Amino acid sequence: MTMANSAFGAGVIVFMALGTAALAYRRGHSLLPWLTLGGLIPIVALPWLFLTKPKRQPGEQPPAGMLPLATISFLAVAGIIGIQVVSAPATIPACDNYFAQSDLKNVVANSPAGKAAGLSIVTLTDIKEVSKTPTEARCAATARMNNTSVVLMDYRFFIEAGQLLIEAHWH
């Protein structure tokens, strides 16, 4: 785990704890137990908080600022998770990975040769990983095309300039 991932994880825990505690305090509960519970197991704390009765008496005003604090905390959690998802580096998939196969089918169908002949892959069988490094995977498979032909497919997944690219050849 990298230092950045640890910082993101700590940020999520802190903001989840703060948001849960702010909502609990607004509903009349003690701050410290809900701060702890919200940080350790928010998936239990939040439903429990809303399924139990508030401890605040009817007509009693909730403390000012707790709802905005909770809202900002939960938005911060969403932002941290969003940043982590967007900044995730490209990774090389396994040759037989479902999404890799789907991407390969799209590459073939949208290639100049695929468009000109109206070709697309129907199924891939006998998928084999020929070689794999951290930045490239070379694969081979048998492809049944939509024109009923069966072809040998050589393809590779590689990372260039931080992007996952696919190159395919069939014969």
Percent above pLDDT 70 for the chain = 96
Check whether residue 11 and residue 68 sit in a common domain.
yes
Domain assignment of residue 92, yes or no = no
Q: 18-21: long-range contacts at Cβ-Cβ below 8 A with a sequence spacing of 24 or more?
A: 18/69, 18/70, 18/73, 19/69, 19/70, 19/71, 19/73, 19/74, 19/77, 20/45, 20/46, 20/49, 20/70
Q: What percent of the chain has pLDDT over 90?
A: 33
Residue 93 belongs to a domain: no
- By C-alpha distance, which of 99, 143, 100, 142 is closest to 120? 143
Domain boundary among 44, 61, 86: 86
- Phi-psi label, residue 112: left if phi above 0, alpha if psi -120 to 50, beta otherwise: alpha
pLDDT digits (tens, 9 = 90+) for 36-68: 988 888 888 889 888 988 888 888 888 888 888
pLDDT digits (tens, 9 = 90+) for 145-163: 998 889 999 999 998 888 8
Q: Quick one: pLDDT at residue 2? A: 63
How many domains, in total, are found in the chain? 2
Residue where one domain finishes, among candidates 55, 86, 117: 86
Instruction: Look up the domain containing 131 and give its range.
Output: 98-170
Q: Is 70 exceeded by the pLDDT of residue 3? A: no
Does 16 lie in the same domain as 53?
yes
Residue 132 has pLDDT above 80, yes or no: yes
Is the domain of 77 the same as that of 7? yes
In this structure, the answer to whether residues 47 and 106 fall within a common structural domain is no
Residue 141 lies in a domain: yes
Model confidence, pTM:
0.54
Lowest model confidence (mean pLDDT) among 7-16, 20-29, 81-90, 113-122: 81-90
Query: From CA 131, how far away is CA 142, in angstroms rounded?
Result: 17
Residue at 91 is within a domain: no
Both 111 and 152 in a single domain?
Answer: yes
In a domain, residue 67? The reply is yes
Query: Environment class of residue 36 by beta-carbon count within 10 Å: exposed (0-12), middle (13-18) or buried (19+)?
Result: middle
Residue 132 CA to residue 56 CA, distance in Å, equals: 61
Is position 46 within any domain?
Answer: yes
In this prediction, residues 72-76 reach a mean pLDDT of 90
Specify the pLDDT at position 83: 85
Q: Is residue 52 located within the same domain as residue 74?
A: yes
- For residue 107, count CB atoms less than 10 angstroms from its CB and return exposed for 0-12, middle for 13-18, buried for 19 or more: middle
Same domain, 76 and 111: no
Helix (H, G, I), strand (E, B) or coil at 56: coil
Q: Do residue 79 and residue 116 come from a single domain?
A: no
Model pLDDT, residue 137: 93
Q: What is the mean pLDDT of residues 3-20?
A: 83
Instruction: Please check whether residue 24 is in contact with residue 52, taking contact to mean a CB–CB distance below 8 angstroms.
Output: no
Mean pLDDT (the chain, rounded): 88
Determine the pLDDT at residue 117: 87
Beta bridge mates, 157 = 137, 166
